[in-house]
Amino acid sequence: MAEAMVAARPAAPGAAGTALLEVRGLEAWYGESHVLHGVDLEVRQGEVVTLLGRNGVGKTTTLRSIMSLVGRRAGSIRFEGREIIHDRSDRIARAGIAYCPEERGIFASLNVTENLMLPPVVQDGGLDLDTIYALFPNLKERAGSQGTKLSGGEQQMLAIARILRTGAKLLLLDEPTEGLAPVIVQQIGRTIREIKARGFTVLLVEQNFRFAQTVADRHYVMEHGRVVDMVPNDQMTASLDRLHQYLGV
């Protein structure tokens, strides 16, 4: 498969391992509801990082806050060294951050190719349509099918594929394996590893830490709107007792 694809996105000179995203003291509200209480995390260029935690601890709100999709936020969010806490979501997207929500947002009346071509290209470095179809052969087979005719797994692949076109450097993926059959979960895992190999950076919300262990470099654990732990992937096995306590599994 790799032979059919274009070369990976080159890293900027001297940028390998540098912080692409830095979140410090992030607070967020939905109306009067105070959801995030000082989230601290960073994602380095070329990493896949997961946010782990039970339902309702603030994982999705963290992604939405990065994209300025909450009622109010405070603290610091720096992307490529620039403060974006006061930016609108459209400016954040143009800066090179793309969000794939849990509900996927597939347009039912459009076919696969039309859905793929809908988001604007914001920067150089995105994947072209041929490369996307090489990465997602199922989508190529369904190119003319409407969104309503796709399975849940195909819709998830389409949602991820769509943001790969845009040229975004940082991909925010919210629960990409939720409700999918094990064989599709494995395919999503292969896709995440492939896009990482191409130089994309991923911040991934996930509840299944066993899946997360197959794709990620580091894992932040959230409780009650805060990050309470960080586990490097090579220490996951040794940290299972801690993770069981956090995640209740």
Return per-residue pLDDT of the chain as tens, 249 residues: 333 333 333 333 333 468 999 999 999 999 999 999 999 999 999 999 999 999 999 999 999 999 999 999 999 999 999 999 999 999 999 999 999 998 888 888 899 999 999 888 988 889 999 999 999 998 999 999 998 888 988 999 999 999 999 999 999 999 999 888 899 899 899 999 999 999 999 999 998 888 999 999 999 999 999 999 999 999 988 888 888 888 875
> 19-247 in CATH: which number?
3.40.50.300
Alpha-helical regions (H) of the chain? 59-66, 89-95, 112-117, 129-135, 137-141, 152-164, 182-197, 209-215, 240-247
Q: Are 52 and 243 in contact (CB under 8 A)?
A: yes
Reported pTM: 0.89
Instruction: Quote the DSSP letter at residue 3.
Output: G
Buried b (16+ CB within 10 A) or exposed e, 24-46: eebbbbeeeeebbeebebbbbbb
Inter-helix orientation angle 182-197/152-164, to 10°? 10
- If DSSP codes are grouped into helix, strand and coil, which group holds residue 18? coil
Tokens describing residue 151: 């399975």
Residue 246 has a pLDDT of: 85
Contacts of 133 (CB under 8 A, 6+ apart): 139, 140, 143
- The single-letter DSSP state of residue 171 is E
pLDDT of residue 17: 61
Domain boundaries, the chain: 19-247
